[in-house]
Amino acid sequence: MSEKIIVIENLVKRFPVGEGEFTALSDINLSFEKGEFSGIVGPSGSGKTTLLNIIGSLDSPTEGSCTVMGKRISDLSHKQSAQLRNMHIGFIFQVYNLLPVYTVFENVEFALLLQKRSATARKKAVMEALEWVGLEKMADKKPSKLSGGEGQRVAIARAMVKRPELVLADEPTANLDAKNAHAILQTMKKLNEELKTTFLFSTHDEKVMAYLNRLIHLEDGKVAQDEWVTAKSTR
């Protein structure tokens, strides 16, 4: 692990509140290397999601800089931000956010459509991604027919199908029972190890933390602790 794919320097994020401002993140200095399986942890309102949104180029810092894949987020146009997300970043959400009108296959395929890949290449990549998460037989099912765990596995396949360098997962196990949460985390860990994809979680779930190699504790928008740990759980 030597290639830095995220570099955050002196990052501050403020939001206007009424006539004043609310500081969501303050003086953040972090870097993440390729292949990390890390988590930003902390209670609700600590700034986890805001930081994840900035890294995902959905938002930009008020001060300081955030550089992802060598691209400074605050310098990117809307189009360039979209392109960065499209080509290099996968998102996994707390609620799976699958498009209900499309099948499992089409939901995963959608990310590739934006990359204008050929139908043959899309089919191959989608089936491979579904195999990673063990849902190749559910390809024609609609999201409404899936269980919570299956839905989140489709979301993982959708995030992974384009082989991104970075996956941002915002509370991915919050809506899952313990058994499904472990299954999901094992899948992500496996992909992290096999594909060398960097995973960055936002979580306050102990089950997730048990799988992580690095925990960055946020408190009131500041990094309270940045610790490397040995993953306790590998189930």
Least Å distance between CB 113 and other proteins?
6
Specify burial of residue 71 (Cβ count, 10 A radius: 0-12, 13-18, 19+): middle
Classify the C-alpha dihedral 72-228-193-184 as positive or negative.
Answer: negative
Instruction: Tell me the C-alpha distance between 148 and 94, whole Å.
Output: 11
* Interacting residues toward other proteins by CB under 8 A: 53, 56, 58-60, 78-79, 81-87, 89, 91, 93, 95, 97-102, 106, 110-111, 113-114, 158
Nearer to other proteins, 47 or 56 (CB): 56
Instruction: Tell me the C-alpha distance between 132 and 136, whole Å.
Output: 9
Nearer to other proteins, 98 or 156 (CB): 98
Least Å distance between CB 166 and other proteins?
12
CA 116 to mean position of chain CA atoms:
22
Nearer to other proteins, 36 or 171 (CB): 171
Least Å distance between CB 91 and other proteins?
4
Nearer to other proteins, 79 or 179 (CB): 79
- What is the Rg, in whole angstroms, of the alpha carbon atoms belonging to the chain? 17
Least Å distance between CB 60 and other proteins?
7
Nearer to other proteins, 166 or 215 (CB): 166
Find out whether 11 and 27 touch, Cβ atoms under 8 Å.
Answer: yes
Find out whether 108 and 99 touch, Cβ atoms under 8 Å.
Answer: no
Least Å distance between CB 101 and other proteins?
4
